[in-house]
Amino acid sequence: MAELTLCMGTLAKTPYYITGLGVNVYSIEELCYCLAGNAYILDEDLMDPKLCTFIEKQLQLKELATDLRELIDENKSIGEFVTTILTKTGYLSEEEIYEVKQVLLDNAMLGFANKRKARGDNLLKNRKYMLAIDEYQYILENIDKAEETELYAAILHNIGTAYAYMFLFEKAAYYYREAADLADGEESRIAYLMATRMTMHKDQYDKLLLRHGYDAEFLAKVDKRMEQGRFGAEHSPYREAMDNIKELKGSGRINDYYKAIDDTLSSWKQEYRRNMNA
């Protein structure tokens, strides 16, 4: 029989948005779940008085809110802040809290840029594209391109991927090209040609290929990736949707086929609007 956990506080009418994770939480249990599962990318910006107010007013946990305010006032670490929440709520066992503490310690040693990149990658994975771009741009403004060339190029590539998933292919191509020029990465060069192909007529694209002198083996990789329909993710949600649509057509389920097209386009439009307003 599964163990039951008694919930604390009340369910919030208005959620609290955790910017670094790109998620809304309505209860202390949801907050604990997010903190425990994402300890490796938490940063000091979590220690926000607004979170304390949310815990006090919305969740009706005044004592916990008071304790957290004191930690902020005393400039305590993010580790103490998070483990106080987890301990006071009883959401995790002592052993589990110890494991989270270790992750937070490792996280503290990671360094600014890599930690923030992990946050950006998490936002990208969760389709919070504009938030991911903001996170990536913040890193680029605060690191030295010459000293951290590989990291800088990787971030440029990921910005390109975020724009590609929003169908802003010209912007995507720009960042992929910047990444490829900086670190000579094959993945960035492939993604650059993919994004460029989405913005050019075939004859223009063919002239570009001729001008740059790409070899046949490399172009075969680009063509294969174009067929797969993905930029930076092994399992793109867009690719999965298209595979489902093709399968419906191939099996002769025409009504389902057209319905899937309508539903998919509607979903993509909503997601696009959401991310453009993020």
Please give, one letter per residue, the 3-state secondary structure of 14-43: CCEEECCCCEEECCHHHHHHHHHHCHHHCC
Reported as type and span, the H/E element at residue 23 is: strand 23-25
Look at the chain and count its residues: 278
Residues of the chain with pLDDT under 50: 1-6, 233-235
Number of other CB atoms surrounding residue 218 within 10 Å = 14
pLDDT for the residue 24 = 92
Two tokens, residue 199: 């913005």
Cα dihedral 103, 42, 116, 126 in deg (nearest 10): 100
Two tokens, residue 233: 């993710």
pLDDT for the residue 16 = 95
Instruction: Report d(CA 19, CA 265) in Å as an integer.
Output: 28
Quote the distance between the C-alpha of residue 182 and its chain's center: 23
pLDDT for the residue 225 = 80
pTM of the predicted model, to two decimals?
0.63
Dihedral sign from CA coordinates of 201, 206, 209, 215: positive
Instruction: Report d(CA 34, CA 25) in Å as an integer.
Output: 8
Two tokens, residue 68: 């957290």
Helix 169-183, helix 149-165: angle, nearest 10: 160
Instruction: Report d(CA 253, CA 247) in Å as an integer.
Output: 9
